[in-house]
Structure 1
Amino acid sequence: MERTRLTYAFDAYCGWCYGFAPALHDFAEANAERIELRVWSGGLFTGPRALPAAAYPHIPGANARIAELTGVAFGAGYQRMLAEGTTVMDSTDAATGLLALAGQPGVSALDAAAAIQRAWYLQGRSLSDTEVYRDIATELGLDPDAVTASYADPATRAAAEAQFLQLRRLGVDSYPTLLLHTAHGTHRLGSPVSSTQALTRALDQHLASVAA
Structure 2
Amino acid sequence: MTNASTNGRVRLTYAFDAYCGWCYGFGPALHDFVKANGDRIEVRVLSGGLFTGSRALPVAAYPHIPGANARIAELTGVVFGQAYQRMLAEGTVVMDSTDAAVGLVALSDQPGADALDAAAAIQRAWYVQGRSLSDGQVYRDIAADLGLDADAVAAAYASPQTRAQAQVGFLEVRRLGVEGYPTLLVHTAHGVDRLGGPVSSAETLTRLLDQYLAAAAV
- After TM superposition, the score normalised by the length of structure 2 is 0.96
Structure 2 equivalent of residue 33 of structure 1: 39
Matched, 1:187 2:188: no
Structure 2 equivalent of residue 198 of structure 1: 204
Structure 2 equivalent of residue 66 of structure 1: 72
Letter in 1 for 2:45: V
CA distance in 1, matches of 2:67, 2:31: 25
CA distance in 2, matches of 1:39, 1:137: 17
Structure 2 equivalent of residue 115 of structure 1: 121
Equivalent residue of 1:88, what SS? coil
CA distance in 2, matches of 1:207, 1:57: 42
Deviation sequence 1:129-186 (CA, Å, 0-9, x none):
0111111111111111100100011111111111111111111010000000011321
Q: Give the aligned CA root-mean-square deviation in angstroms.
A: 0.7
4+ aligned runs moved over 4 Å, structure 1: none
- Structure 2 unaligned segments of length 5 or more: list them: 1-6
Matched, 1:49 2:23: no
Structure 1 equivalent of residue 90 of structure 2: 84
- After TM superposition, the score normalised by the length of structure 1 is 0.99
Letter in 2 for 1:61: G
Among 201, 214, 218, which residue is 1:208 paired with?
214
**1:106 Cα deviation after fit:** 1.3
- Spell out the pairing of 1:124-163 with structure 2 (5 A cutoff): 124-163=130-169
Equivalent residue of 1:192, what SS? coil
Deviation sequence 1:48-87 (CA, Å, 0-9, x none):
0000000000000000000000000000000000000000
Among 168, 174, 177, which residue is 2:180 paired with?
174
Structure 2 equivalent of residue 6 of structure 1: 12
- Structure 1 unaligned segments of length 5 or more: list them: none
Deviation sequence 1:18-45 (CA, Å, 0-9, x none):
0000000000000000001010000000
Matched residues, number: 212
- Percent of aligned positions that are identical: 75
CA distance in 1, matches of 2:108, 2:162: 11
